[in-house]
Structure 1
Amino acid sequence: MDLLSLLTPVDTQQKLADHIKKKRRQKKWSRQALAERSTVPASTIKKFETTGQISLRQFLLLWQSVDRLDALVALTRESVAEPTSIEEVLKR
């Protein structure tokens, strides 16, 4: 069964860009400082922060610079299925 989500891919891209921008600002880094740490050009960082557009490799380089990659990888772990009946709840 597919789960319905109101988020679009564009919304999600922008939320990820906002997260990296927030982390960058918390560290008091300019785009240029993040560029030097991540090897992603400052112009690409600016485009990402404003449009959400970036390559996956560059996104990972930015994420690694501001946060832990294992936090991102954790999103790929299988989640425990939610119970669908009272019987399943009682079994737990």
Structure 2
Amino acid sequence: MKRDPFDVLVKPLLTEKITGLQEQANRVAFLVKKDATKIEVRKAVESALKVKVKSVNVMVVMGKKKRQGRFLGKRPDWKKAIVTLREGEKLELYESA
């Protein structure tokens, strides 16, 4: 079953750490669907953003515990993908930010 690239990629992650990685090692990060695999993320980035991908690292980020008075809750877990682009590849998405 082939998935739509925009069904795999939820949104780009723009943090200070990711911006530093983008400048130093040509890496970008995305929040992806929880059930997405490395291969699906690679295909989604290559087809949606028209760049060549060197490697993909994924990790599940555990949601934080939050309190509202005496009630304890938990934010949902989410998956992050750090994509290393090939030499000479650039993303205009991050250049304009």
TM, length-normalised to structure 2: 0.29
